[in-house]
Structure 1
Amino acid sequence: MLGWAVVFFIIAIIAAVFGFGGIAAGAAGIAKILFFIFIVLFVIALVVNLAKGRGPKL
């Protein structure tokens, strides 16, 4: 999922360079949504693994 966020971010940058503001804004919005979904899922997975005792030894 993080890979898709990076892909949409790159599409947004390329579209902005060529002057396609609407496409750039849309791609950046999608990238932002995917990034935040990734962060939420990562935190949930981290908490579940720590609760099960399989997490990193701190």
Structure 2
Amino acid sequence: MFRWAIIFAVVALVAALLGFGGVAGLSADLAKVFLLVAAVILVIGFVAGRGPRVP
């Protein structure tokens, strides 16, 4: 998820530099959503843990 957030952030920066405001705004919004989802999954993973390992 973090990879997708970074990709959309880079697309937003390139689109903004080239003057495509609509594409830049949409890509920035998608990057924010992916970053938020990835952060939530990361926190849930830390809280839930993997449980005890049984040999």
TM-score by structure 1 length? Answer: 0.85
1:14 corresponds to: 14
Percent identity, aligned pairs only, is 38
Return the letter of the residue paired with 1:22: G
Count the aligned residue pairs: 53
Q: Which runs of 4+ in 1 moved over 3 A?
A: none
Question: Structure 1: where are the runs of 5+ without partners?
Answer: none
TM-score by structure 2 length? Answer: 0.89
Question: Structure 2: where are the runs of 5+ without partners?
Answer: none
- Calculate the aligned-residue CA RMSD, in Å: 1.5
